[in-house]
Chain A
């Protein structure tokens, strides 16, 4: 069956460091992969989209990589700040044209 895996354990890092979050998938051939941020009590907010033929995408302090051979995407936040603390969700889109979400990984940036 199709599966999207994100670390269920929270990632704790110090302010100023680079945070790296992982999204792995199986039995899927997504054409697109999206990353969203979700704060408590709020809906997810779109951050970045990367296509299957793109290796890397950047936006300000954010960087996403997409390895269709490893079936993995990495999401990096450089120079992290306490305000970056949130849950980060990856979502895959494929032939169904419907974004399917992972469970998300909680990031906690300590001052």
Chain B
């Protein structure tokens, strides 16, 4: 099966600019996650979707971050305006079901550098 696809692979922007990341999950996977991974740390959940509804976005900085999942398939994560501390790898993951024993399948991420 095809894996989780993410683009772009790398992005460099200046602070206060905006940026968007795209994710295409594995076909048939109802649950989609966006994680932020800062260098040397583990992935931190930003938002979880079940189909096209938000399950948890408690750790999403909503003043600058937004995410949507249209038609319950692809998803985009946007940052506007970006800050220096947003420099990180943004990982998208999907799972077959939303149950807590479903393994997550990750994409290779988008590495964002904010200068």
Contact = CB atoms under 8 A, between A and B. Distances in A.
Interface residues of B, number: 25
Contacts of B104: 34, 36, 44, 46, 91, 99
7 contacts: A32-B100, A42-B109, A44-B106, A49-B103, A51-B101, A89-B42, A93-B101
Contacts, number: 59
Is the contact region of chain B dominated by helix, strand, or loop, or is it mixed?
Answer: loop
Contact of B99 (A6, A44, A97, A102): A97
B75 interface: no
Return the 3 tightest CB-CB contacts between A and B, nearest first: A43-B106, A101-B42, A93-B100
Nearest to B99: A97
A93 B108 CA distance: 22
- Chain A, interface size: which category? 20 to 34
Contact of B100 (A43, A46, A97, A102): A97
Interface of A: 4, 6, 31-32, 34, 36, 41-46, 49, 51, 89, 91, 93-94, 96-104
Given A43-B106, A97-B99, 12 more contacts: A4-B42, A43-B93, A43-B109, A46-B104, A49-B103, A51-B101, A89-B43, A91-B104, A97-B55, A97-B98, A98-B45, A102-B42
Contacts of A44: 43, 91, 104, 106
Contacts of A43: 4, 91, 93, 106-109
